[in-house]
């Protein structure tokens, strides 16, 4: 379980069906496996919220020195601050190319939705159906059906996920449909998450984006030719996704400098973190792309690792 969670954290696109089978071999049920994936994905979410906003340790808590030192922090810093002086710290947040980062192709699904049981247990039909229908409505006209269908063993988790999506994505963030789509696409591309990447690419096209913009965001987002506000969000997305521990006050100030309010910044941080959660859920359960997802041929790299063209991530 720990090895699976570590892999899902560090390289979610490299999770394979054999990894899921390994959990089964150690006695985990499919509901247990989904719960493990949700728990690991949630930790990735909450870590990014904290690091994006520079959340300090509680000065009234007597943290064990061994735990503090394990994260490279002098215990003398714990009662004061971890983030205030991190103004200009820099680190590489390079990505693996989409075609090199995944060991499995994303095929169009036939009857298979993912690697775990998708049958709705008795007594959970109504709760699951309500959340399922709401997610389909929110993600129209290219609904995330297979993502919804991966949750019947945890309809409570699906309901919470849908409600949070309504608040920070899918038209409810206040950031605009286009910027929401850019955030989702950049996070998915950074993690090489094909299922979420395919859907966010299509959402950006639906929002009036061009194929040129989509492909630039995939290959060289720093040179995507988008406006300065969107470019700062792209930089924030990449760093928070790839290396949350390197986030500094300067990353927040960069968003402020292009006109984002603190409420916007909280929403952007929450949206990026939620997309990290969704990508890990999608890759953890092995979601397949819906048969009717009609992406342009130029975005075929989201469907098959073997046929994807070479792309440099820099």
Residues in CB range of 139: below 8 A, 6 or more apart: 170, 199
Backbone dihedral angles phi then psi of residue 90, each to the nearest 5 degrees? -125, 155
Answer for the pair 263, 94: CB distance below 8 angstroms, yes or no.
no
Q: Model confidence over 250-308: pLDDT tens digits?
A: 899 999 999 999 999 999 999 999 999 999 999 999 999 888 776 776 666 665 432 33
The arithmetic mean of pLDDT across residues 185-201, rounded, is 92
The arithmetic mean of pLDDT across residues 59-66, rounded, is 77
pLDDT value of position 195:
92
Tokens at residue 127, please?
């709760």
Tokens at residue 276, please?
């990290």
Window from 23-27, 108-112, 185-189, 221-225 with minimum mean pLDDT: 108-112
Residues 114 and 104: their CA atoms lie apart, in Å, by 13
> Is a pLDDT exceeding 90 seen at residue 115?
yes
The arithmetic mean of pLDDT across residues 88-114, rounded, is 51
Residues in CB range of 70: below 8 A, 6 or more apart: none
Tokens at residue 166, please?
């309504």
Residues 4 and 43: their CA atoms lie apart, in Å, by 14
Omega of the bond leading into 279 within 30 degrees of 0 (cis): no
Q: Model confidence over 133-176: pLDDT tens digits?
A: 999 999 999 899 999 999 999 999 999 999 999 999 988 899 99
Answer for the pair 40, 157: CB distance below 8 angstroms, yes or no.
no
pLDDT value of position 302:
65
Tokens at residue 57, please?
């340790």
How many Cβ atoms from other residues are within 10 Å of residue 143's Cβ?
A: 19
3-class SS at 45?
helix
Answer for the pair 34, 150: CB distance below 8 angstroms, yes or no.
yes
Quickly list H helices, 140-210.
145-149, 155-168, 177-191, 194-206
pLDDT value of position 230:
94
> Is a pLDDT exceeding 60 seen at residue 75?
yes
Residues 276 and 38: their CA atoms lie apart, in Å, by 12
For 196-226, the DSSP string reads HHHHHHHHHHHTT--HHHHHHHHH-GGGS--
Q: What is the mean pLDDT of the chain?
A: 83
Query: What residue has token string 């959402």?
Result: 203
Window from 4-8, 100-104, 240-244, 304-308 with minimum mean pLDDT: 304-308
Query: What residue has token string 């215990």?
Result: 75
3-class SS at 151?
coil
Q: Model confidence over 230-239: pLDDT tens digits?
A: 999 999 999 9
This prediction's pTM = 0.87
3-class SS at 148?
helix
For the chain, the structural domain boundaries read 98-302
Topology of domain 98-302, CATH? AhpD-like (1.20.1290)
């Amino acid at each position: 379980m720990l090895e699976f969670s570590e892999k899902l954290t560090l390289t979610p696109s490299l999770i394979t069906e054999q990894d899921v089978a390994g959990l089964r071999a150690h006695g985990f049920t499919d509901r247990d496996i989904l719960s493990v994936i949700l728990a690991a994905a949630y930790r990735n979410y909450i870590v990014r919220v904290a690091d994006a906003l520079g959340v300090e340790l509680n000065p009234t808590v007597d943290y064990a020195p061994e735990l503090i030192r394990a994260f490279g922090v002098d215990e003398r810093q714990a009662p004061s601050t971890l983030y205030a002086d991190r103004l200009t710290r820099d680190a590489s947040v390079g990505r693996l190319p989409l075609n090199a980062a995944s060991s499995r192709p994303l095929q169009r699904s036939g009857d298979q939705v993912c690697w775990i049981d998708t049958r709705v247990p008795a007594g959970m039909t109504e709760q699951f159906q309500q959340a399922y229908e709401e997610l389909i409505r929110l993600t129209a006209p290219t609904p995330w059906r297979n993502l919804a269908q991966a949750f019947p063993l945890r309809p409570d988790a699906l309901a919470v996920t849908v409600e949070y999506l309504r608040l920070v994505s899918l038209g409810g963030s206040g950031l605009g449909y286009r910027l929401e789509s850019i955030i989702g696409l950049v996070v998915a591309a950074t993690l090489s998450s094909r299922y979420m990447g395919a859907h966010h690419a299509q959402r950006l096209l639906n929002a009036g984006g061009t194929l040129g913009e989509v492909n630039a965001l995939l290959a060289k987002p720093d040179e995507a030719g988008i406006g300065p506000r969107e470019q700062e969000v792209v930089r924030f997305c990449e760093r928070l996704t790839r290396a949350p521990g390197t986030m500094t006050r300067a990353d927040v100030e960069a968003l402020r400098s292009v006109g984002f309010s603190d409420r916007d910044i909280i929403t952007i941080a929450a949206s990026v973190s939620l997309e990290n959660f969704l990508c890990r859920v999608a890759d953890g359960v092995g979601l397949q792309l819906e048969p009717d997802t009609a992406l342009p041929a130029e975005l075929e790299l989201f469907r098959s690792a073997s046929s994807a063209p070479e792309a440099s991530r820099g």
